[in-house]
Structure 1
Amino acid sequence: MFHRAITAAAISAAFIMPAAAHHDGDIFEANGIVVSHAHTVEVSASAHSMDVFMTIENTTDTAVTLTGASVDFADSGIFQAPSVSDSGTMSVREVKALEIAPGQVLTMQPSGVHVVFHNVQEAFKGGDHFHAHLTFDGLGEMEIEVEVEHGDHDHDHDAETS
């Protein structure tokens, strides 16, 4: 039990860190919450789920809780986070809500905390954008725009095209 508590604390600390987006992206602000670099990676047209990543900063003096995420073209989003069992096996588990302490930053990233939308009914390509809604307990809903990045993770975002 102690091992699980230590592991959970380490995982939590690993994902509440200064924002380190690999490019600026759009920034959305409401009620002291700042969301930046909301993005996903293009997937095949036959994919039924989509992972979405972003950075959320709480600039208020009280904790805020992210309780939901939604888009028009899929089921409501679920939050997933890495988990380590007592035996040391790594897995992914669903998290009902994400609390962000005052002045803290939550960075959602691959292999870390992220939003998953299942039953996706639309295909997106690199360069596309779509709207998503985040729900914060006591603060209501916040609309953001999510950028669809190209599936080639090795490309240079700053490279000039000819």
Structure 2
Amino acid sequence: MHSILRSAFVALSLIAVVPAAQAHDYTAGDLKIDRPWSRATPGGAEVGAGYLKIENKGEEADRLTGGSTPIADALEIHSMTMEGDMMKMRKLDGLDIPAGGSVALKPGGNHIMFIGLKEPIEKGKPFTATLTFEKAGEVEVEFNVEGIGAKAPEGGHHDHGAMQDSEDGAMDGAMEEMDHHDHH
């Protein structure tokens, strides 16, 4: 009897997990958007950042041009690069998604900025955003929210190569410390 109940419980548990895992992937035309996530922000923060992976399964390049979200006044695409020993952030007009390729928006690299937050981004409280692409059009996605300083979504895969120089925590909080107002 216990083994039947245990089997039923395991089966129900797996069924409950499958829809949640699928909810992290979105499709817009030939584009697949994987695991949008953000970091929680401290109270009073005016900006937040979003991360995700975009895969282009089509034969034509596309371009992420921007979007909108109810949690902020603006949604922009930004890059971060090291110039000497300084991390520099710049607003981009768009981000190319090559045909048959993929682009990862992640901490320390290209990312989405939520400018003029209307409320703090809180861990465990997902929010929606609409991403706009030149060819694929608009797609609404849900950003899961991790803790302040998170380097990858919970249960996600961490790209150790991109962050190998941050073992000492030098990148932790870099987003929070930058003055984003200089980039408008």
Short-chain TM bin: 0.7 to 0.9
The answer to which structure has the higher helix fraction is 2
Structure (1 or 2) with the larger CA radius of gyration: 2
1:39 Cα deviation (Å)? 0.5
Which of 113, 116, 128 is the matching residue for 1:116? 113
Counterpart amino acid of 1:111?
G
8 A Cα contact 1:25 1:36, kept in partner: no
What is the CA–CA distance in structure 2 between the aligned matches of 1:112 and 1:94, rounded to whole Å? 12
Q: Partner residue of 1:141? A: 138
Q: Partner residue of 2:46? A: 48
1:30 Cα deviation (Å)? 2.1
What is the CA–CA distance in structure 2 between the aligned matches of 1:157 and 1:82, rounded to whole Å? 23
Q: Partner residue of 1:96? A: 93
Over the matched positions of the two proteins, sequence identity in percent amounts to 25
Q: Partner residue of 1:27? A: 25
Q: Partner residue of 1:62? A: 60
Deviation readout 1:72-126 (Å, 9 max, x if unpaired): 12122111112466x7865221110111111111100111000111110022321
**Which deviates further from its counterpart, 26-35 or 72-81?**
72-81
Higher relative contact order (CA 8 A, sep 6+): 1
Q: Secondary structure at the residue paired with 1:35?
A: strand
Q: 1:138 to 1:152 in 2, by over 3 A?
A: closer
Q: 1:63 to 1:152 in 2, by over 3 A?
A: closer
Q: Secondary structure at the residue paired with 1:76?
A: strand
What is the CA–CA distance in structure 2 between the aligned matches of 1:126 and 1:25, rounded to whole Å? 18
What is the CA–CA distance in structure 2 between the aligned matches of 1:83 and 1:43, rounded to whole Å? 22
Counterpart amino acid of 1:106?
V
Q: 1:125 to 1:103 in 2, by over 3 A?
A: same
Moved over 4 A (4+): 87-90
8 A Cα contact 1:24 1:37, kept in partner: no
Q: How many equivalent pairs are there? A: 135
Counterpart amino acid of 2:45?
A
1:127 Cα deviation (Å)? 1.1
Q: 1:88 to 1:127 in 2, by over 3 A?
A: closer
What is the CA–CA distance in structure 2 between the aligned matches of 1:136 and 1:157, rounded to whole Å? 27
What is the CA–CA distance in structure 1 between the aligned matches of 2:80 and 2:28, rounded to whole Å? 28
1:150 to 2:147 alignment: yes
1:64 Cα deviation (Å)? 0.2
Which of 72, 80, 103 is the matching residue for 1:106? 103
